[in-house]
């Protein structure tokens, strides 16, 4: 198993819970994990980033998952091995959950090493949000923050709208003459988009300006300027979220499907359709019409673990049914959610028409549920 995020850590734990005789090795590059859900709230000030940090101690201590800390170079489907910096591991089943990478070559002037320091994306780890938060705190009252949303599919669009809300919540209190310009490369890529737009108008007046179909084509980060499909502008703080693809390991391991960006999988088991015996979970795999999320990665991790444990026990394959539950906060209290149900049908994951839906209003009750959901999913990963 490679990748100890929301998909990989839960798949590892579930395999051991179903059958403690299965030897599970989790390869992860970092010794701790800084979760993204709830990390936006640190900008608004209602959470501390330390609350999002997890370690893998309990996966090892309580469940007997063996941790190897290091970078997996490639998973070789033909040889059934994972190549690490320090050697090679053989496997019977490989699960890969490497998260996302960025298609930075689609933005002229983007330098992979330097640009994230100047225009932080804060999209791969909760810890990165600390830098973005500091930039906003250092900005003058009356400054301009640009938040640029990429073309879909990308990791958790709803979180991008939540990011804007949390920046606005902070600015309204600390620097009320400031503005936020949202440049969305598409149009309303989240199920909650309309509710966000209404909430922004009501809570933040004209502080937020939202423009759809505004793709960033070129940047000059040292001069803090960017060119979109229709204009060139400069800003005090730029939160540039680049277009995305599956994490590098997926590309190196030949797991990418016909779209050239994301891993192609059989959604009944999460086995790759291009490299048999390797299973791909979470944001790296094509979500059909699913929003890439921690909630979906967690559900996929369990479904995949059940499939592999079933295969080891020579049990027949069971179709699965699961939910993708996404909460957001508009400020420090008011929450809303989008809930979707899916079932596997053949090799596809199909959205179930009945059940689920989106909140009709921001409410304190859903704010409480949002914090409870986060507490529960983080506890599941670290207990």
Q: Copy the structure tokens of residue 60.
A: 């090892």
Least Cα distance to 309 among 112, 15, 10 occurs for 15
In the list 44, 116, 247, 257, the residue contacting ligand FAD (rule: CB under 6 A) is 247
Cis-peptide into 298, omega within 30 deg: no
CB-based closest residue to ligand FAD: 5
Report the nearest approach of ligand FAD to the CB of residue 323 (Å).
11
Report the nearest approach of ligand FAD to the CB of residue 313 (Å).
25
Beta bridge partners of 20: none
Q: Which of residues 83-142 bind ligand FAD (CB under 6 A)?
A: 97-99, 123
CB 90 within 8 A of CB 76: no
Tell me the CA distances in angstroms from 16 to 194, 327, 375, one per residue in order: 42, 29, 22
Least Cα distance to 115 among 141, 139, 148 occurs for 148
> How far is Cα 368 from Cα 366, in angstroms, rounded to an integer?
5
Does residue 59 belong to the site contacting ligand FAD (CB under 6 A)? no
Does residue 51 belong to the site contacting ligand FAD (CB under 6 A)? no
> How far is Cα 25 from Cα 294, in angstroms, rounded to an integer?
21
Q: Which of residues 163-182 bind ligand FAD (CB under 6 A)?
A: 163
CB 239 within 8 A of CB 163: yes
Report the nearest approach of ligand FAD to the CB of residue 373 (Å).
8
Q: Which of residues 323-342 bind ligand FAD (CB under 6 A)?
A: 326-327
**Window contacting ligand FAD (CB under 6 A); options: 4-12, 186-194, 195-203, 253-261:** 4-12
Does residue 5 belong to the site contacting ligand FAD (CB under 6 A)? yes
- Tell me whether strands 225-228 and 278-280 are parallel, antiparallel or unpaired: unpaired
> How far is Cα 228 from Cα 139, in angstroms, rounded to an integer?
23
Report the nearest approach of ligand FAD to the CB of residue 151 (Å).
16
Report the nearest approach of ligand FAD to the CB of residue 251 (Å).
11
- Total count of residues recorded for the chain: 383
- Binding mask 142-161 vs ligand FAD (x if CB under 6 A, - otherwise)? -------------xx--x--
**Window contacting ligand FAD (CB under 6 A); options: 27-35, 202-210, 314-322, 337-345:** 27-35
Q: Copy the structure tokens of residue 139.
A: 């900005």
Does residue 65 belong to the site contacting ligand FAD (CB under 6 A)? no
Nearer to ligand FAD, 107 or 284 (CB): 284
Cα-to-chain-centroid distance, residue 58:
23
Which chain residues interact with ligand FAD by CB under 6 A? 2-8, 27-30, 33, 36-37, 39-40, 71-72, 97-99, 123, 155-156, 159, 163, 247, 249, 282-284, 292-295, 297, 326-327
């Amino acid at each position: 198993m490679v990748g100890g995020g929301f998909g990989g850590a839960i798949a590892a734990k579930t395999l051991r819970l179903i059958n403690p005789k299965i030897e599970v090795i989790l390869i992860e590059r970092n010794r701790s994990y800084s979760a993204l859900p709830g990390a936006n709230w640190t900008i608004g000030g209602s959470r501390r980033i330390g609350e999002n940090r997890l370690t893998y101690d309990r996966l090892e201590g309580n469940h007997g998952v063996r941790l190897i800390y290091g970078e997996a170079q490639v998973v070789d489907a033909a040889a059934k091995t994972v190549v690490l910096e320090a050697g090679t591991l053989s496997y019977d089943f490989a699960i890969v959950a490497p998260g996302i990478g960025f298609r930075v070559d689609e933005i002229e002037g983007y330098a992979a090493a330097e640009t994230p320091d100047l225009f932080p994306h804060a999209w791969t780890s909760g810890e990165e949000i600390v830098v973005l938060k500091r930039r906003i705190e250092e900005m003058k009252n009356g400054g301009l923050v640009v938040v640029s949303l990429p073309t879909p599919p990308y990791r958790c669009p709803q979180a991008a709208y939540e990011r804007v809300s949390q920046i606005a919540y902070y600015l309204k209190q600390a620097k009320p003459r400031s503005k936020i310009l949202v440049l969305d490369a598409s149009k309303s890529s989240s199920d909650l988009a309309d509710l966000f737009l209404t909430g922004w108008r009501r809570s933040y007046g004209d502080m937020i300006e939202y423009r759809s179909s505004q793709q960033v084509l070129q940047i000059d980060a040292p001069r803090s300027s960017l060119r979109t499909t229709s204009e060139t502008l400069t800003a005090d703080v730029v939160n540039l979220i680049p277009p995305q693809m599956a994490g590098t390991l997926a590309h190196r391991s030949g797991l990418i499907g016909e779209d050239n960006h994301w891993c192609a999988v059989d959604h009944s088991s999460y086995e790759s359709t291009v490299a048999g015996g390797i299973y791909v979970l979470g944001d790296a795999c094509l979500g059909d019409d699913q929003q890439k999320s921690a909630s979906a990665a967690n559900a996929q991790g369990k479904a995949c673990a059940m499939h592999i444990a079933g295969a080891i026990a020579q049990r027949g394959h069971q179709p699965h049914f699961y939910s993708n539950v996404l909460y957001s906060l508009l400020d420090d209290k008011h929450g809303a959610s989008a809930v979707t149900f899916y079932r596997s049908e053949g090799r596809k994951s199909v959205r179930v028409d009945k059940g689920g839906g989106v909140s009709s209003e921001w409410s304190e009750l859903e704010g409480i549920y949002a914090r409870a959901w986060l507490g529960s999913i983080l506890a599941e990963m670290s207990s």
